[in-house]
């Protein structure tokens, strides 16, 4: 706390670009104990499970963080009431991965009005007043990355058959991913020939893929939105004995990356969608409440908006990403 005040005054007129408080050591140092409320959607598939586990693990690292977890719902009504509970309890900060960004906006605004900073993770609120900071994965960017990679691989074959296996279609993020994918493909003159949507589950991936493969006897490239359902997708591909195409995954599970590393399946690449967003959210919330800044940034305050990159992982760079990948 003291550090921040000095930082502010010191930062006034000088060109000093190294705030004293924002060192890694300074940020790790124990501060006042704070209570962070965390609420996320039902951990009903690998990525979300990883999100929650990473958040909890992150909170466990700090003795000065008391995490209140209310994870586990796809019901906006219930999640709103969980946030209300946090407001009632006057927690110090709320990290919220909303089941639907727009639906949770009002209650987040109420929390902000009650003086509780809200960190919005992954699915964005519909109002900028609803969150003090926002950490987003780039869903549209994921689609773009996957599409661009496929364009590169397929080169200049305008008749190439591109198939897409989406996640839960009624989620806005699925729509964004598909939109990005379609955009990138159209830049090289391709389009999605066959599209099915699964439900982010292994079984759903398997079932829809086996149907898709029957419907499309010849495929050149396939993008699967989610590596967790990808296990099922690959099982179906194996069962059908198909290997004429390249497959790109999504989210970036350790499992998928090991396959890419082995380079003996159709799985050639995956697009990372970081599963550490909520953990980052917890960390930001702690810094925010303890009035610290981010290390490696000159800025003395926590930024409003952080959009995480959606890099493509291939056999060339897989070593770099494997350590932070999530186990499904």
Stretch that binds another protein, among 149-157, 182-190, 197-205, 297-305 (CB under 8 A): 197-205
Q: State the binding string over 266-295 for another protein (x if CB under 8 A, else -).
A: ------------------------------
Binding segment (CB under 8 A) for another protein, from list 20-28, 196-204, 275-283, 317-325? 196-204
Is 138 strand, coil or helix?
A: coil
Nearer to another protein, 148 or 275 (CB): 275
Asked if 265 touches another protein (CB under 8 A), the answer is no
Q: Is 226 strand, coil or helix?
A: coil
Pairwise CA distance, residues 249 & 253, whole Å: 9
Q: Between residues 8 and 207, which has the closer beta carbon with respect to another protein?
A: 207
Establish if 250 lies at the interface with another protein (CB under 8 A): no
Give dist(CA 43, CA 26) in Å, integer: 33
Binding flag, residue 261, another protein (CB under 8 A): no
Task: State the Cα–Cα distance between residues 204 and 206, nearest whole angstrom.
Answer: 5
Q: 161-185 burial, b if ≥16 CB within 10 A, otherwise e?
A: bbbbbbbbeebebbebbbebbbebb
- Per-residue x/- marks for another protein, 201-220, CB under 8 A? xxx-xxxx-xxxxxx-x---
What is d(CA 277, CA 32) in angstroms, rounded to the nearest whole number?
24
Per CB under 8 A, contacts with another protein among 77-116 are: 77-78, 80-82, 84-85, 88-89, 99-106
Cα 197 to Cα 217: distance, rounded to the nearest angstrom? 18
Report if residue 5 touches another protein, rule: CB under 8 A.
no
Q: How far is the CB of 28 from another protein (least distance, A)?
A: 25
């Amino acid at each position: 706390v003291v550090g921040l005040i000095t930082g502010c005054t010191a930062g006034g007129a000088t060109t000093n670009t190294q705030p004293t408080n924002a060192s890694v050591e300074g940020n790790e140092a124990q501060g006042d104990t704070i209570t962070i409320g965390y609420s996320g959607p039902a951990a009903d598939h690998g990525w979300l499970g990883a999100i929650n586990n990473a958040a909890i693990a992150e909170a466990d690292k700090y003795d000065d963080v008391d995490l209140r977890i209310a994870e586990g719902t796809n019901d906006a009504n219930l999640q709103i009431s969980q946030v209300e509970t946090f407001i009632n309890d006057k927690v110090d900060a709320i990290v919220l991965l909303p089941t639907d960004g727009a639906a949770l906006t009002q209650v987040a605004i109420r929390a902000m009005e009650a003086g509780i900073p809200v960190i919005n993770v992954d699915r964005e609120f519909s109002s900028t007043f609803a969150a003090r900071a926002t950490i987003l994965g780039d869903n549209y960017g994921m689609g773009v990355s996957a599409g661009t990679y496929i364009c590169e691989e397929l080169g200049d074959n305008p008749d190439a058959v591109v198939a897409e296996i989406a996640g839960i279609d009624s989620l806005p993020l699925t729509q964004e991913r598909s939109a990005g994918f379609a955009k990138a493909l159209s830049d090289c003159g391709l389009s999605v020939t066959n599209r099915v949507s699964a439900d982010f589950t292994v079984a759903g991936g398997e079932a829809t893929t086996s149907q898709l493969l029957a419907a499309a006897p010849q495929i050149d490239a396939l993008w699967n939105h989610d590596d967790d359902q990808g296990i099922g997708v690959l099982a179906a591909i194996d069962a059908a004995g198909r290997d004429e195409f390249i497959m790109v995954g999504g989210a970036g599970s350790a499992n998928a990356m090991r396959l890419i590393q082995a380079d003996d399946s159709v799985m050639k690449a995956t697009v990372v969608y970081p599963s550490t967003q909520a953990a980052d959210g917890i960390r930001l919330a702690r810094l925010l409440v303890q009035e610290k800044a981010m290390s490696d940034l000159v800025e003395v305050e926590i930024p409003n908006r952080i959009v995480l990159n959606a890099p493509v992982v291939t056999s060339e760079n897989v070593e770099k990403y494997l350590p932070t990948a999530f186990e499904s």
